[in-house]
Structure 1
Amino acid sequence: MMKSIELKLNRYFVGEISNGFPLILKDAAEPIEDMIPEGTLLKIVRPNGKYVATGYYGKQNKGIGWVLTRNQQEEIDQTFFESKFKLAIEKREQFFNSTETTAFRAFNGEGDGIGGLTIDFFEGFYMVSFYSEGIYSFREMIFEALKEVVNYRGIYEKKRFNTNGQYIEQDDYVTGEKGEFPLIIKENGMNYAVDLNDGAMTGIFLDQRNVRLALRERFSQGKTVLNTFSYTGAFSVAAALGGAYETTSVDLAKRSLSKTIEQFSVNGIDYEQHQIKVMNVFDYFHYAAKHNMKFDVVVLDPPSFARTKKMTFSTSKDYPKLIKDALAITAPKGIIIASTNNASFDMKKFKSFIDKAFKETNQSYKIVEQHQLPEDFCTPDEYPEFNYLKVCIIQLLK
């Protein structure tokens, strides 16, 4: 029997939790004593003691835990996890049957009923990500449930919660076949190299699948494409396969060079026909503007927060400046693909950043497409704040 404590809600949050909000915010309830271990089950009650829901204690961003069920009789055991996984797999039948896309999200946290837990599928391998010590305490139960529900080549895990400010380095292999990396997966017919046992990252952000497809299908043919904060060059690959005249990938991380070369190579693309720059994106903006360089398409997909020796960057404060820097090197009637995964503001606020940048540079524009999370990244329909991805494809009008 798992340890359980009673958590009394503040009266202002009773309606929210009762009506389906999955995250238990720090201010939503009476403080939990420091000695209570993360992973403790929470019997969530009204101020008068009446049952509302069952959750677990696990610190994640602004929350102290997640709701698991609103059925007082439901046990949080292996059967519980199995039922959640089965439903998630059934919802994604089209992805499991696809030969064109062999990597996608198989279970998406609160959207599939268990906040703090995601499971990604990579060509028969599953990668389970834990976002707090609380959900990690259910680790064995989760793996046993997953093994009962899916056919798998191998299972890997990622601890995506901090311990003393540092990500935990570990061997991420759990069970089954040990992968030979890089593993080549397909996304809409494109090849990408991934590594499930190489620190926090895998080599591709699966949530950008539809945006890469849009770039390949509608915005690349005969164009010059600048891919900033390029990571392993996934957008550059999509642009090249879409017929781009040339791509330029810019990222500060030294390993981005070898990783981008690898992504081009697994698609049979001659990487020497493309530019790969290992440097600060803002330094590159300055360099490109100084040399009067212009790009038909500019991709902006920065981290939510970054710090270098010279500067700090935050999407919540600095995105308008980022767009203005991009505008200075975007060709007339060019395209800017502006993206952020910062969950602290919504699409309306993001569009206000775009509008601010264009007004301050006295330029006109229209948003020709907008994207949020793809369909495998299920989110609660009634709570759009969990749909963190915001992408606007912007057409300059002159």
Structure 2
Amino acid sequence: MKEKKLIIHNKFVKKYKSGYPLIEKETILNSDDLIKEGTVVRLVEENNKFIAKGYYGIQNKGYGWVITQNEKETIDYSFFNKKLFNAINCREKFYKDKNTTAFRIFNGEGDGIGGFTIDYFDGYYLINWYSKGIYHFKDYVIEALKNLSDGIGIYEKKRFDNQGKFIEEDSFVWGKEAEMPIIVKENGVNFAIYLNEGAMVGVFLDQRDVRKKILDKYAKGKEVLNTFSYTGAFSIFAAVGGASKTTSVDLANRSLSKTIEHFSLNGIDYETQDIIVEDVFHYFKYAGKKELKFDLVILDPPSFAKSKKFKFSAAKDYKELLKSTIKITEDQGVIVASTNCASFDMKKFKGFIDQAFEELGKGYKILEEYRLPEDFRTIKEFREGNYLKVVFVQCTDNISTARR
């Protein structure tokens, strides 16, 4: 495969030599020379000295990914096969766990090749492609996955821009097609997975450890509010963990049927729970007027959300949303504050928490923190890849409670 030379500005050379994987437009002196996504690129210094190899593929702010610092390495089937072999080998204990049959086996740059992920759902694999550039190598990835696993079937989702229009297409690519839904287990709890209904499959696997902690430690006997509830995953774990009642709130109409399905799969009478299709921001106002209070509140909004009357950005608005949450949380109650926004770090996120409580004249105590689970491998050179930030916060009356 013919390689294209990319000249890196001198001030960014050290960054790439230290292992930073995202090829950014502003670092390239000859970016106008890039034409075809999927082209293998050689990053070189202004004096033509080799830095690394990667591929050209437009994804969010990036122009592609660095995938090797070995000048002699060829980007071919054996390269992808080796990366997938190592990734699958690292997840060996997950394959052996009969109580958890859904997990990630390849996490982009965390496993050595940015731009795609692969998830496992009880014998079926789902590949998410995030650029036309990485999709150029699809045959290598699919063939390697077929040879390295004993999977039943492989599905894919294309989640990238196509001629100026963002697309999300899914399709079956190999093996035996699944009967939907695929019923998987996560720590013994059942979920319904749909690989043929767009980008969302039914559960976000990155919250596995958080859900287990809620089940094991925080749910028993509690009134639980799950906001931005999607398919009710947190509510299901809370109910299985002995919550006295759960309330799930999400604006999407499909959240009702999906949440009912998950309760039913776990032998829980959904009619004993509250499932509300409503704008979460409006629900906070309603709960405040009715003086509703909850013992445990899960606050896990998307990075960006839009309703008829409100636009939400986690980077700008999380603090105010948290203040609304604090107002309807019981004294000594717990808020599971979570965000998947990659544009700020845990320190800044804790700053939002501190500001929210301070502005309300309330005290708090941080009980525990979570980042991405073990199967969502990340690298220290790319902090943005470790996007998940979850903090269990206990509300207290005493504003002098130690802050962090």
Report the residue type matching 1:109 in the other structure.
Answer: G
Q: How does 1:302-317 map to 2 (within 5 A)?
A: 302-317=301-316
Report the residue type matching 1:7 in the other structure.
Answer: L
- The answer to whether the 8 Å contact 1:373/1:389 transfers is yes
- The answer to whether the 8 Å contact 2:191/2:262 transfers is yes
Q: CA deviation at 1:169?
A: 4.8
Q: How does 1:204-215 map to 2 (within 5 A)?
A: 204-215=203-214
- The answer to whether the 8 Å contact 1:248/1:276 transfers is yes
- Distance change >3 Å, CA 49–CA 390, structure 1 → 2: same
Question: Which residue matches 1:154?
Answer: 153
Sequence identity percentage: 56
Any idea what the Cα deviations from partners look like across 1:14-71, whole Å, max 9, x if unmatched? 1111111111112111242276111111011011001111100011122111011111
- Distance change >3 Å, CA 242–CA 163, structure 1 → 2: same
Q: How does 1:293-308 map to 2 (within 5 A)?
A: 293-308=292-307
Question: Which residue matches 2:116?
Answer: 117
Q: CA deviation at 1:92?
A: 0.8
Q: How many residue pairs get matched?
A: 397
Tell me the distance in 1 between the aligned counterparts of 2:387 and 2:117. 15
- The answer to whether the 8 Å contact 2:263/2:270 transfers is yes
Report the residue type matching 2:240 in the other structure.
Answer: L
Q: Which runs of 5+ in 2 are unaligned?
A: 398-404
Question: Which residue matches 1:98?
Answer: 97
Question: Which residue matches 1:369?
Answer: 368
SS in 1 for 2:230: coil
- The answer to whether the 8 Å contact 2:159/2:169 transfers is no
- TM-score normalized by structure 1? 0.98
Question: Which residue matches 1:239?
Answer: 238
Question: Which residue matches 1:330?
Answer: 329
Pair 1:282 & 2:281 matched: yes
- The answer to whether the 8 Å contact 1:78/1:141 transfers is yes
Q: CA deviation at 1:162?
A: 2.8
Tell me the distance in 1 between the aligned counterparts of 2:299 and 2:176. 37
Question: Which residue matches 1:59?
Answer: 58
Q: CA deviation at 1:180?
A: 0.7
Tell me the distance in 1 between the aligned counterparts of 2:52 and 2:222. 54
Report the residue type matching 1:37 in the other structure.
Answer: K
- The answer to whether the 8 Å contact 1:159/1:167 transfers is no
- Distance change >3 Å, CA 165–CA 318, structure 1 → 2: farther
Tell me the distance in 2 between the aligned counterparts of 1:325 and 1:290. 12
Q: How does 1:119-158 map to 2 (within 5 A)?
A: 119-158=118-157
Report the residue type matching 2:395 in the other structure.
Answer: L
Any idea what the Cα deviations from partners look like across 1:76-104, whole Å, max 9, x if unmatched? 11110000000001111110111011000
Range with greater deviation from structure 2 (327-336 or 380-389)? 380-389
Q: CA deviation at 1:171?
A: 4.3
Any idea what the Cα deviations from partners look like across 1:259-317, whole Å, max 9, x if unmatched? 00001011011000000000000110011110010000010110101112211000000
Question: Which residue matches 1:14?
Answer: 13
Q: Which runs of 5+ in 1 are unaligned?
A: none
- The answer to whether the 8 Å contact 2:103/2:121 transfers is yes
Q: CA deviation at 1:168?
A: 2.6
Question: Which residue matches 1:191?
Answer: 190
SS in 2 for 1:33: helix
Question: Which residue matches 2:401?
Answer: none
- The answer to whether the 8 Å contact 1:193/1:263 transfers is yes
Tell me the distance in 1 between the aligned counterparts of 2:206 and 2:83. 21
Q: CA deviation at 1:384?
A: 2.8
Tell me the distance in 1 between the aligned counterparts of 2:214 and 2:290. 26
- Distance change >3 Å, CA 165–CA 330, structure 1 → 2: farther
- The answer to whether the 8 Å contact 2:157/2:168 transfers is no
- TM-score normalized by structure 2? 0.96
Question: Which residue matches 1:85?
Answer: 84
- The answer to whether the 8 Å contact 2:331/2:395 transfers is yes
Question: Which residue matches 2:379?
Answer: 380
Tell me the distance in 1 between the aligned counterparts of 2:100 and 2:257. 24
Report the residue type matching 2:146 in the other structure.
Answer: K
Report the residue type matching 2:293 in the other structure.
Answer: K
Tell me the distance in 2 between the aligned counterparts of 1:252 and 1:93. 38
Tell me the distance in 1 between the aligned counterparts of 2:256 and 2:33. 45
- The answer to whether the 8 Å contact 1:184/1:192 transfers is yes
